[in-house]
Structure 1
Amino acid sequence: MLSRLAAGLAEDLTVPGAAETAVLLMAAWWVWVLTAWLTDLFNPRLPIIQATVLAVMFGALVMAIAVPQAFDRYGWLFVVAYFAIHIVRDAVLIPGTRVNRPIQARSIRVFFWFVVTSVPWVAGALVSGTARLALWALAVVVDLGSARIGWPTPRLGRTELASQIFTGLHLSERHREIFVIALGELVLTVGLGLADSGFEAARVTASAVAFASVVLLFRLYFHRVEQLLAPSGVTTVERVRPGTATSYSHLVMVAGVLLISTGASTVIERPLGAVPPAWVVAILGGPALFLLGSCLFDGVLTGRVLWSRVLGIVLLGAVAPAMTLLPPLAVLVAANVVLLLVLVGEAAAPRSRLVRAAVPAR
């Protein structure tokens, strides 16, 4: 689905196109997050859980099919698949947690808010254009935002965000997996671009530079973020507030990878010549979003600011105006140089300082 979102954004690299992509990405992300939480609550080897995950996978496939035309003729298909995933998941989750009242209550709260947001989702499918975008944006913001306030529900109250529900080890693995999947989609974009390049020197070079982006993102992620996801000695229970916050920060990082994929595909297609301002935003904005997401993640678990990555964001913004004078390939190289500087700077930092910063805040 991520590759289809990136391809769609590359074809419509405008503010409305970016807004539509953001809405669809957040909807897909919410499906993934709730499914990850489902597999944290049950033994994934149980046949009913495996069947549920397969059903969710099929629903996600249908959503991916609908993505290119989600704001056109296939809006209804996207919403139907989105609804079906939630209904199937909750049909298993709510009865399956009846022996654990706090978890079942949380599941009912989630379902209640799903019913609430079904109104703008359905209404959006019945209209078109800006009206659909506005209604779906409202729906997905409420979907994600309701978790941040504990899904307040009549008679059931809200989930206490300081309570212990999610198993930290499993949720950490899910975060690593989705980020690696996002990188895999970026590799796929590079491979498809190279296959269509006719092996022209400039386009092959652009493909190589785009692949270097994959390597840099991989190293930056696992150099720092993995230490925070599962540091040695961490307890096997994760509190709700960090659990939801880390999911949101990973959403920002994955959005950054998606935007990098969009920028890479445009550069591979046309590495030389004048660069449109929208391309500069995509090529530099992707790394900036990734760095921002990693800063947010770091702040959630340590309570500290990761200044090396903040400086990387500032540097990307500072060089952006000058990038309009360069060809697209040079802009992509500049983005990679900034990522490389951040990586080298963190690698050269005293190890003791990194270890202290990796200890989660209590």
Structure 2
Amino acid sequence: MTSAPLPRILRRRGEPEYPTFLELFFDLVYIFLLSRLATSLGENLTVRGAAQTAVLLLAAWWVWVLTAWLTDLFDPRLPIIQATVLLVMLGTLLMAIATPYAFGRYGWLFVAAYFGIHLVRDAVLIPGTRVNRPIQARSVRVFFWFGITVAPWVAGVFVDETARLVLWSLAVAVDLGSARIGWPTPGLGRTELASQIFTGLHLSERHRAIFIVALGELILSTGTGLARSGFTAGQVTAGAVAFVSAVLLFQLYFQRVNRILAPPSVTTVERVRPGTSTSYTHLVMVAGVVLVSTGTSMVIARPSGGTPVDVMAAILGGPALFLLGSVLFDAVVTARILWSRVLAVVVLAVVLLCSLVAPAVFRLPPLTVLVVANLVLLLTLVGEGLAARRGRIEAAAPAH
């Protein structure tokens, strides 16, 4: 029996696995999108505002993930794939434009752009893989599940803000959750592949790139906030401390995560779940950087005086969320817990809790709170560096 031919648009084994310039160009739109999210959160720093930002970030992240998987499985040098990526980029730009007003008068634009992206991608992949039904079934399953979530996404456009948040939260949870279980589809089963879905090197580089993009947004917001300030001594100092925050996040990411991002265990993924776990844990880290951006922008705007609880939550919560994401990623890849980072998260949580329980005693200026957060990150970085050095020395020591 002759096996089905491979689709022409499929990436061939042995081809270069590094991201193309087009993929890196695509990532640039996320600087704008993440900036819009951070700014919107800063303007509505409430539990509801945080929930709305989370929903929009999840939707935008899912677009990025599916695009990364698209160029991982299919040949990104083909004109049809390149055109698809550019159209997805345009749709993402429209999503970013609508982001501050997505729970207001421009909810329809956000939803239209979101589903336009998925329709364009599936309009290319489903016909383009028709010569091989098992491969085509992957795209059909994804399309089936987006057909399910279109109802709550569209319905949310026509209801009030609270109902919209509920409906969109449900929709994005189904979007991401369906991938975790392999998009089970009537008549097609689920995606349980005994072949290579993700090339370890390519997807590793894509995750590195999107994290750098998030740091780029943090640098952008720091520079923009300082440029719009009155350049007082406190604001200039806050800008410098915010820059240090970006440096510490960069070092913490590449000191640990970069070492384990593409081990042999991730090079060939036989099920969807491990691949999605890698992306989800990076989502948590990127969300942490977005929250850091919100917090540092507010510190630059007002570095002195008492720190409101919501501002303190942003300043301390951003680093904590990043550290939590890195702990989860390490657990997914190595099955080990980074206790140094767990301890750092606990310390940040304790500082926040103390400010809630005894605000008169722990009434710190915003700049001081940001310095405290940076000290926790710095101590974590130094501690892990010393532990790694001690481990190398012990490994190199001759056995007795």
Structure 1 residues 180 and 331: alpha-carbon distance in aligned structure 2, compared to 1, 3 A threshold = same
Q: Give the structure 2 partner of residue 332 of structure 1.
A: 370
- Contact 1:2 1:185 (C-alpha < 8 Å) held by counterparts: yes
Matched, 1:61 2:90: no
TM-score, normalised by the number of residues in structure 1: 0.94
Matched, 1:223 2:255: yes
Q: Give deviations 1:196-235, integer Å, cap 9, x for gaps.
A: 112110001001001100000000001110111124x677
After TM superposition, the runs of 4+ consecutive aligned structure 1 residues lying more than 6 A away are none
Structure 2 spans left out of the alignment, 5+ residues: 1-32, 356-361, 394-400
- Contact 1:175 1:250 (C-alpha < 8 Å) held by counterparts: yes
Q: Give deviations 1:64-86, integer Å, cap 9, x for gaps.
A: 11001000000000000001000
Q: Give deviations 1:170-198, integer Å, cap 9, x for gaps.
A: 11111111100000000000000110112
How far apart are the structure 2 equivalents of 1:51 and 1:81? 16
Matched, 1:237 2:275: no
1:93 CA displacement: 1.5
- What secondary structure does 2:184 align onto? coil
Which of 63, 75, 79 is residue 107 of structure 2 equivalent to?
75
Write the letter of the residue equivalent to 1:223: Q
Rg: which structure is higher?
A: 2
- Contact 1:112 1:153 (C-alpha < 8 Å) held by counterparts: yes
1:350 CA displacement: 3.6
- Contact 1:103 1:165 (C-alpha < 8 Å) held by counterparts: no
Q: Give deviations 1:233-268, integer Å, cap 9, x for gaps.
A: 677433432211000000000000000000011111
Q: Give the structure 1 partner of residue 62 of structure 2.
A: 30
How far apart are the structure 1 equivalents of 2:242 and 2:135? 44
Report matched runs for 1:1-362 at 5 Å: 1-160=33-192, 164-231=196-263, 236-239=267-270, 240-323=272-355, 324-351=362-389, 353=391
Write the letter of the residue equivalent to 1:90: D
How far apart are the structure 1 equivalents of 2:277 and 2:105? 34
- Contact 1:272 1:327 (C-alpha < 8 Å) held by counterparts: yes
How far apart are the structure 2 equivalents of 1:262 and 1:55? 29
Structure 1 spans left out of the alignment, 5+ residues: 356-362
- Contact 2:126 2:136 (C-alpha < 8 Å) held by counterparts: yes
How far apart are the structure 2 equivalents of 1:336 and 1:97? 50
- Percent identical among aligned pairs is 72
CA RMSD of aligned residues (A): 1.8
Write the letter of the residue equivalent to 1:344: V
Structure 1 residues 235 and 267: alpha-carbon distance in aligned structure 2, compared to 1, 3 A threshold = closer
Q: Give the structure 2 partner of residue 359 of structure 1.
A: none
- What secondary structure does 1:73 align onto? coil
Write the letter of the residue equivalent to 1:237: T
- What secondary structure does 1:44 align onto? coil
Write the letter of the residue equivalent to 1:283: I
- Contact 1:275 1:325 (C-alpha < 8 Å) held by counterparts: yes
Structure 1 residues 300 and 163: alpha-carbon distance in aligned structure 2, compared to 1, 3 A threshold = farther
Write the letter of the residue equivalent to 1:62: L
Q: Give deviations 1:264-319, integer Å, cap 9, x for gaps.
A: 11111000001110111111111111001001100111111111111110111112
- Contact 1:3 1:185 (C-alpha < 8 Å) held by counterparts: yes
Structure 1 residues 99 and 227: alpha-carbon distance in aligned structure 2, compared to 1, 3 A threshold = farther
- What secondary structure does 1:158 align onto? coil
How far apart are the structure 2 equivalents of 1:112 and 1:330? 51
Q: Give deviations 1:338-362, integer Å, cap 9, x for gaps.
A: 001110011000448589xxxxxxx
Structure 1 residues 128 and 277: alpha-carbon distance in aligned structure 2, compared to 1, 3 A threshold = same
TM-score, normalised by the number of residues in structure 2: 0.86
Structure 1 residues 162 and 329: alpha-carbon distance in aligned structure 2, compared to 1, 3 A threshold = farther
Write the letter of the residue equivalent to 2:152: P
The number of residue pairs the alignment matches comes to 355
How far apart are the structure 2 equivalents of 1:345 and 1:205? 26
1:14 CA displacement: 0.2
- What secondary structure does 1:151 align onto? coil
- What secondary structure does 1:272 align onto? coil
How far apart are the structure 2 equivalents of 1:123 and 1:200? 48
- Contact 1:162 1:241 (C-alpha < 8 Å) held by counterparts: no
- What secondary structure does 1:349 align onto? helix
- What secondary structure does 1:166 align onto? coil
Write the letter of the residue equivalent to 2:269: E
